Structure 1
Amino acid sequence: MNPLTPMLEALGPDETLDAIGTAGIRVVQRRQGYRFNLDAVLLAAFAAAEGAQEGPVLELGAGSGVVSFLLARQFHRGPVDALELQPTVHARLERGVKLNALEGQVRPLLGDLREARTLLPPGGHALVVSNPPYRRASAGVRSPDEERALSKQELACDAAAVVAAARHALAPGGGVSLVYPAARLAEILGELTAARLFPRALRLIHARVEAPATRFLVHALRDQDRGLEVRPPLIVHGEGPGGYGPEVAALMDPPSGQSSDAVQPET
């Protein structure tokens, strides 16, 4: 029997089982709800490269668990505490932990990051990561789907709340890695610095070599101002497998013998 058969049989009518990364990670998602995109993969790789090599990790706004699963399995970081606000999304996160046999490596937590001071021990994590809602609450049309709306717009938290939660959770000298739209670069660097989370590494993401940046990745250190280093630009699309550039393709290729048909990240 195909080892995926029990997983597929357990899916709801509005759910899909999708593959991501090189370590065979599978994620349960709503077919019509918010779905992970490439930013999650790029954030996990960036955080693993820039962050602490050892010590507990916290993901703020974990969703279905993509970043947490990648950090634990593909990049061998952890243990990972995965904090998610929405109960229905948290339930899929819990299922994902079991599907990927990550019990003991990823711990799903249900709660609001704005209440980090009561939910999380102070200074308990060496690395914090977040792929937060990108759009301000007042920007654009709100999605009629509540799950999608909360995931895409700052309805339940804003950048200041994400930074404050990271500050609380980080051990002295620990680091936080974030991904945001390029247009919010000055704002986010300002929020981090005001909280004494000093930007250490910055990387701009471009769809193609000739295109302007659309996203940025930033890593900041708690209470350590060691100067900002700007990394080489990350180019998403190229002539590699799947139409990706070589660096992104190396993060996305499934293990030998595993079909990539289920990989459905939005770009």
Structure 2
Amino acid sequence: MMRKEDEIAVAREYFPRGLFQPEGTFRFSMDALLLARFVGAAKYRTAVDLGTGCGIVGLTMLLENEQLAVTGLELQPVLLDAAKQNAESLGVAERFSGTLVDVGNIRASGLAAESADLVVSNPPYRRQNQGRHAATQERTCALFETEGALEAFVQAASFLVKNKGAFSCIFPSERLEELVVVCSRNKLTPKRIKFIHSKADQNSTLVLLEARKNGNCGVVVEAPLVMYSGIGDNTALTDGALTFCPYLECNARGR
């Protein structure tokens, strides 16, 4: 029988591929891993993950910072249970806590105002009329935003993060203006932006944003991240993408 420490070592070796994701629920995507790497987890001691899902963002940060504690907030019980199970298998359960709550009613979470150094979120950002809905209600909930969802997530972040603390998220580039306006309206000043491009000659599809609670004006636009190079069957993740996020290695071809 394998020892507990050996089981943890195996789980970490296969991370993120080995994460438990309940059947019929939203499967985490590359977006979550990019967000987890963007935040620079080593700088923080307390973090809240809004809409934690199976725990992917928070767990990535916990593996990169042994001093960090993460609270995952989730609306769907089956996903919250999965996040806790994944934390246990990775040996970080003592630093991960989960709360079942709707971010639109953040005060029901029991978390104190301005109690987190960092708040992160990979919120649902497909509009209700954008594309075909998923086969299950759970997947639809994770993918498609409801009326006022962006405002609710940003308001929750503003409530939870400390003064001068950070809020980081990933969102469609075409909605950057909307995101900036909502953040600014909730005392979260954009400070750092990184555009993500599928290929070098294509427009950006996603943007990573860091905002600071009551921060001073001034935004750093980082070098863009190009995800793929090549054509057809020769398409592969770029060295830049793998350097930025080594966890993508499990999706790299020919390596």
TM-score bucket of the superposed structures, by smaller chain:
0.7 to 0.9
Which residue of the other structure, out of 214, 217, 241, is the alignment partner of 1:248? 241
- Residues 1-267 of structure 1 correspond to what in structure 2 (within 5 A)? 24-25=15-16, 26-48=18-40, 53-76=43-66, 78-119=68-109, 120-155=111-146, 158-238=149-229, 243-250=236-243, 251-252=245-246, 260=250
Separation in structure 1 between the aligned mates of residue 44 and residue 135 of structure 2, nearest angstrom: 41
Q: 1:45 to 1:253 in 2, by over 3 A?
A: closer
The 3-state SS of whatever aligns with 1:42 is: helix
Separation in structure 2 between the aligned mates of residue 254 and residue 135 of structure 1, nearest angstrom: 23
Indicate the structure with greater helix content: 2
Q: 1:32 to 1:224 in 2, by over 3 A?
A: same
| One-letter code aligned to 1:35 | R
Scaled by the length of structure 2, the TM-score of the pair is: 0.85
The 3-state SS of whatever aligns with 2:20 is: strand
Separation in structure 2 between the aligned mates of residue 238 and residue 253 of structure 1, nearest angstrom: 18
Bigger mean CA deviation after superposition, 53-62 or 26-35 = 26-35
**How big is the shift at 1:78?**
1.8
The 3-state SS of whatever aligns with 2:163 is: strand
Separation in structure 2 between the aligned mates of residue 137 and residue 70 of structure 1, nearest angstrom: 29
Q: 1:203 to 1:71 in 2, by over 3 A?
A: same
Percent identical residues: 26
Separation in structure 1 between the aligned mates of residue 125 and residue 177 of structure 2, nearest angstrom: 14
Bigger mean CA deviation after superposition, 106-115 or 27-36 = 27-36
- The answer to whether the Cα contact below 8 Å between 2:84 and 2:96 also exists between their aligned partners in 1 is no
- The answer to whether the Cα contact below 8 Å between 1:62 and 1:83 also exists between their aligned partners in 2 is yes
Separation in structure 2 between the aligned mates of residue 23 and residue 124 of structure 1, nearest angstrom: 33
| One-letter code aligned to 2:38 | F
- The answer to whether the Cα contact below 8 Å between 1:48 and 1:77 also exists between their aligned partners in 2 is no
The 3-state SS of whatever aligns with 2:43 is: coil
- The answer to whether the Cα contact below 8 Å between 1:48 and 1:75 also exists between their aligned partners in 2 is no
**How big is the shift at 1:48?**
1.4
Separation in structure 2 between the aligned mates of residue 146 and residue 227 of structure 1, nearest angstrom: 41
**Structure 1 runs not aligned, ≥5 long:** 8-18
- Per-residue deviation, residues 193-216 of structure 1 (Å, max 9, x unmatched): 111100000110001111110100
| One-letter code aligned to 1:59 | D
Separation in structure 2 between the aligned mates of residue 236 and residue 3 of structure 1, nearest angstrom: 38
The 3-state SS of whatever aligns with 1:168 is: helix
| One-letter code aligned to 2:45 | G
Separation in structure 2 between the aligned mates of residue 98 and residue 209 of structure 1, nearest angstrom: 39
Q: 1:253 to 1:44 in 2, by over 3 A?
A: closer
Separation in structure 1 between the aligned mates of residue 218 and residue 238 of structure 2, nearest angstrom: 29
